Amino acid sequence: MKKIGIPRGLFYYYYYPLYKTFFTDLGARAILSSPTTRITVDRGIDAAVDETCFPIKVYFGHVKELCKYELDYLFVPRLVSIENRSYICPKFMGVPDMIRASFTSLPPLIDITVDLSRSDRDFKDQVLKTGRLFTKKSSRIQDAYEHGKQELEYCKHIASQGYTMAEAINIWEGQDIRQQRDGSLRIGVLGHGYSLYDEAISMNIIGRLREMGCTVVLPESLSLEQVEQEAASMPKRIFWTLGRKMVGSALKMEKMPDIDGIIYVACFGCGPDSFIGEIIERKVNDKAYMLIVIDEHTGEGGLVTRLEAFCDMLKRRRRQQVEDHISAYG
Amino acid sequence: MKITFPHMGNAHIAIDAMLEKLKLEVIPPPPISKKTFELGVKYCPEFACMPLKINLGNFIEALEMGADTILMAGGWGPCRFGYYAQVERDILNDLGFEYKMIILEAPDSRVSELFNQLKALGENVSVWEAFKAVKYAWYKIKIVENLERRFAYIHPRAEDKNRAEDIYDKGLQEIQSADDKHEVERVGLKCLERLNKLALTGEEPLKIGLVGEIYTVLEPMANCSIARCLGRLNVEVDNSIYISDWLNDHLLGGLAKKSHRKNLVRCASPYLNYFVGGHGLETVGSTVDYARKKFDGVIQVGPLTCMPEIVAQSVLGMVSKEEGIPCMTLYFDEHAGTAGIQTRLEAFTDMLRRKKILTGFSC
């Protein structure tokens, strides 16, 4: 049985069920790196260039971990675009090349290019090419891919019930995770999935908010159509897939009366976020909004203080809302 | 309509000329200064890349001087530049300026779209006049670039570097104020002649290729005048990219001259095998190209957090090892510590000189 390493980083949080089902159906074994720890982070910082963003460094850490196992292949797709006329981020487009340049002994890479910006014809070829490494039958590859897509939809369905993508993946794999009780505050938390749902990167911001008695509303629980519709109100279409989703989600959340405030988690040095955070701040005027920028620093105290202050402010606002309105930046 | 536009190196000479031929009243922003930076830093998102901040500073200064229309370029990513105009418009609106912003989107395929956009911009001009305006601007930029290249050759070799710089600066001014083709040609040639007459030291200088993000490469204010610093250290600097290349590849669809981009893409393989936005691929391709042309070293420049350049930087280490060319990366933001840059340049060139002598012995 062929072994394929899958790093637990970047689009793992959006696509893992698809990856795993596809490879398993083709008779291979998917080996996932372990959840991010300080060691993963340190390994990543060692391997990557200083200026890269934190999630990429963490991804490098996962690759480094997988290098220790005897793998037949390492799966590091080049995600250029996952929908029409949009990109993810230039760094994603260069990830396989960056990995080749940064590590000396790598297993053979499966670095298929996913570019759906113009058409999906190339992409189908790429899927077939990947599948041929394991089987000669095109129909079997097709079936595996379709099955993978179904599983992914199922996992997204789980996530839409209020779980993070990381939790949804765990539930999909058979773990039992209890639904949170409804908290007193409802806070919309936005950010790129690979930083938000990785507890080491986001310093467990979602867990902390839940501990403080908040219900966290995530973009995955909003309907995609409404998000796109809101995002379409921008004068120029935002050409970053995740950025557009975040702006749309923020605008949608602003209109949801049961949401008290919005927190945006961005990574230091993230190109799209440097603009998206600003755009949201300018557009969202009716709700309290906080931008949290994270990197590999470990000062959790600062984060906790800011979250507490934010929650306290929201609670006070709620109490006083009966009497009068306080400005969103109060 | 009083129109203005952002600065980028010597591009203003050509843009100015083109807009005037479109019969518009032009108010170019004042040269980039510390004040420009301050305005940009004050109002832009903190982590935005530096060109955005300088652009915004330019616009604010020009609007304060009475401009009422801004000309800006657009794009469709994945580099942040494509969304510059939108963010800038939001900021300027919030600051309470009243103006109109015209965004030139690069045409997907047909050049005629560009001429139509320009025609719509001009007041009572025909497509033919729009075409002539572009042609004239193109001519001016070619003359400017000839001068830039000659200066890059003479400056490190000249005995009196101050004099060389004076001649060059004055030459640029004369080209800018010349207002017809013959006059441009005449002052261009005159300046070249003056440069050629300078006494040379006779020593063969080091040769360094300057690669990276186009704005940082071309705009001396954005890179602490790195080219001039190197020239003064007796280093000949070769720019990997000129404004005409960019215009040719992106706006004119490769019509104006033969593009060498294909060659660069070929050079970049196997190190970087995919377009990564901005000039990431060109940076890697040019570095390989310089290595094969036996340059002494390569310096990569870019604005801090520039995504394409980070990808390029990540693979440059391997390029440097495999192709045997020393590379250094410098990122710039609004900090003004030129002494630090100067020291790093001196150290880098010292190292290259030593390497050259040592390899010379071993041969």
Contact B315 A236 (CB under 8 A): no
Contact A239 B317 (CB under 8 A): no
- In this prediction, residue B321 has a pLDDT band, given cuts at 50, 70 and 90, of very high
User: Is it true that A3-159 and A181-320 share their CATH fold?
Assistant: yes
Q: Are residues B187 and B242 in the same domain?
A: no
* Residue B171 belongs to domain spanning: 127-203
Decide if pLDDT at B358 tops 90.
no
Q: Which of A240, A271, A278 sits opposite B87 (nearest CB)?
A: A278
Residue B304 counted as domain residue: yes
Contact B82 A52 (CB under 8 A): no
Q: Are residues B199 and B211 in the same domain?
A: no
pLDDT, position B363: 47
Contact A274 B90 (CB under 8 A): no
To test the contact with chain A by mutation, choose from B83, B309, B313 the residue with the greatest count of A C-beta atoms within 10 A, namely B83
pLDDT, position B248: 77
Q: Are residues B210 and B354 in the same domain?
A: yes
Backbone phi, then psi, for B134, in 5-degree steps? Answer: -65, -40
Q: Are residues B230 and B301 in the same domain?
A: yes
Q: Are residues B64 and B142 in the same domain?
A: no
- In this prediction, residue B246 has a pLDDT band, given cuts at 50, 70 and 90, of confident
| Residues in chain B closer than 8 A to A48 (CB atoms) | 314
The number of beta carbons lying within 10 Å of the beta carbon of residue A5 is 26
Q: Which residue of B has its CA nearest to A95?
A: B311
Q: Are residues B248 and B188 in the same domain?
A: no
Q: What is the value of pTM for the model shown? A: 0.92
At CA B237, angle to CA B236 and CA B239, rounded to 5? 150
B143 touches chain A (CB under 8 A): no
Strand ranges (E), chain A: 3-6, 29-32, 73-75, 78-81, 109-110, 113-115, 185-191, 214-217, 261-267, 288-294
Contact A90 B78 (CB under 8 A): yes
To test the contact with chain A by mutation, choose from B104, B314, B320 the residue with the greatest count of A C-beta atoms within 10 A, namely B314
User: In this predicted model, what pLDDT tens digit does every residue of B282-303 receive, in sequence order?
Assistant: 999 999 999 999 999 999 999 9
Number of domains in chain B: 3
B86 touches chain A (CB under 8 A): yes
B59 touches chain A (CB under 8 A): no
Contact A271 B307 (CB under 8 A): yes
Contact A90 B46 (CB under 8 A): no
Exposed / middle / buried, residue B285 (Cβ in 10 Å: 0-12, 13-18, 19+): buried
Q: What is the mean pLDDT of residues B173-181?
A: 90
Q: What is the mean pLDDT of residues B28-44?
A: 94
Q: The CATH number of the domain where B80 resides is what?
A: 3.40.50
Q: Which residue of A has its CA nearest to B93?
A: A282
- In this prediction, residue B6 has a pLDDT band, given cuts at 50, 70 and 90, of very high
Q: Are residues B338 and B197 in the same domain?
A: no
Q: Are residues B42 and B99 in the same domain?
A: yes
Q: Which of B106, B135, B155 is the last residue of a domain?
A: B106
Residue B119 counted as domain residue: no
CA distance to partner chain A, nearest, from residue B160 (Å):
39
Contact A101 B49 (CB under 8 A): no
Which residue did the predictor score with more confidence, B124 or B62?
B62
pLDDT, position B106: 66
Nearest alpha-carbon partner for B217 in B73, B352, B329: B329
Q: Are residues B73 and B145 in the same domain?
A: no
Contact A93 B310 (CB under 8 A): no
User: In this predicted model, what pLDDT tens digit does every residue of B143-176 receive, in sequence order?
Assistant: 999 999 999 999 999 999 999 999 999 999 999 9
Cα-based distances in Å from B246 to B12, B253, B271, B321: 15, 10, 23, 29
pLDDT, position A325: 58
Decide if pLDDT at B109 tops 70.
no
To test the contact with chain A by mutation, choose from B84, B103, B274, B318 the residue with the greatest count of A C-beta atoms within 10 A, namely B274
Per-domain residue ranges of chain A: 3-159, 181-320
Top CATH class, A3-159? alpha beta
Residue B115 counted as domain residue: no
Q: The CATH number of the domain where B219 resides is what?
A: 3.40.50.11900
Q: Which of B45, B305, B318 sits opposite A277 (nearest CB)?
A: B45
Top CATH class, A181-320? alpha beta
Q: Are residues B217 and B180 in the same domain?
A: no
Q: Read out DSSP for A153-193?
A: HHHHHHHTTT--HHHHHHHHTT---PPPPP-SEEEEEEE-H
Instruction: Please report, in tens digits, the pLDDT of each residue of chain A (330 residues total).
Output: 899 999 999 999 999 999 999 999 999 999 999 999 999 999 999 999 988 999 999 999 999 999 999 999 999 999 999 888 889 999 999 999 999 999 988 999 999 999 888 888 888 888 999 999 998 889 999 999 999 999 999 999 999 988 999 999 999 998 888 776 777 899 999 999 999 999 999 999 999 999 998 999 999 999 999 999 999 999 888 999 999 999 999 999 999 999 999 999 999 888 899 999 989 999 998 899 999 999 888 788 999 999 999 999 999 988 887 666 555 554
Percent of chain B with pLDDT over 70: 95
Q: Which of A89, A101, A282 sits opposite B78 (nearest CB)?
A: A89
Q: What is the mean pLDDT of residues B10-14?
A: 91
Those residues with Cβ within 8 angstroms of residue A303's Cβ, 6 or more apart along the chain or in another chain: A203, A205, A208, A292, A294
Q: What is the mean pLDDT of residues B166-193?
A: 93
B291 touches chain A (CB under 8 A): no
Q: Which residue of A has its CA nearest to B302?
A: A51
Q: Are residues B53 and B199 in the same domain?
A: no
